[in-house]
């Protein structure tokens, strides 16, 4: 199963790019992650796979706050169902509207805090990597 992150805006900072690159490389054998930077939210909406083709997860501060174990369970369930790709959508400063949230299989909050989209990308890639390690049976450091 492939995980694809569709995000508005580029990272533009070497430190953030290095973190995303590191977690993406670590994740390759677990759950491959593709990060696609797009110029505007309309293009993110356009490029996201239709919900009939696979799960779409919208990141939104109004979404469900979950644990890493819950994220791993979502991914594990989708993988068991034969899902080929999961799209994670990160919006711009204005976020997503109600139609976007309704079209998603899941609406997830990384935090109740409003995060810059660049930081949200780093946090999401790290959490996807961590969920992959849980699914692979690696010991999770908090359990």
Average pLDDT over residues 132-140: 90
104 Cβ contact partners less than 8 Å away, ≥ 6 residues apart:
51, 56, 57, 58, 89
On the question of pLDDT at 143 being above 80, the answer is: no
Residue 39 counted as an annotated binding residue? no
Residue 89 counted as an annotated binding residue? no
Length of the chain: 143
Per DSSP, 112 falls in state S
Domain covering 2-135, topology: Alpha/beta knot (3.40.1280)
pLDDT by residue (tens digit) across 91-106? Answer: 998 889 999 999 999 9
Residue 51 counted as an annotated binding residue? no
Residue 30 counted as an annotated binding residue? no
Can you read off the two tokens belonging to residue 119?
């930081």
Residue 113 counted as an annotated binding residue? yes
Reported pTM: 0.94
On the question of pLDDT at 139 being above 90, the answer is: no
Token pair 């930081």 is at which residue?
A: 119
């Amino acid at each position: 199963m492939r995980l694809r992150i569709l995000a508005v805006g580029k990272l533009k900072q070497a430190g953030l790019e290095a973190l995303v690159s590191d977690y993406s490389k670590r994740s390759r054998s677990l759950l491959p992650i593709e990060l696609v930077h797009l110029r505007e939210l309309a293009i993110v909406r356009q490029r996201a796979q239709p919900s009939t083709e696979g799960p779409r997860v919208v990141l939104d501060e109004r979404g469900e706050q979950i644990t890493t174990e819950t994220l791993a369970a979502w991914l594990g369930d989708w993988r068991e169902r034969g899902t080929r790709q999961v799209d994670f959508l990160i919006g711009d400063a204005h976020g997503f509207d109600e139609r976007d949230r309704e079209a998603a299989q899941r609406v997830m909050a990384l935090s109740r805090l409003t995060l810059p989209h660049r930081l949200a990308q780093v946090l999401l890639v790290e959490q996807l990597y961590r969920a992959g390690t849980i699914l692979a049976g690696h010991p999770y450091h908090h359990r």
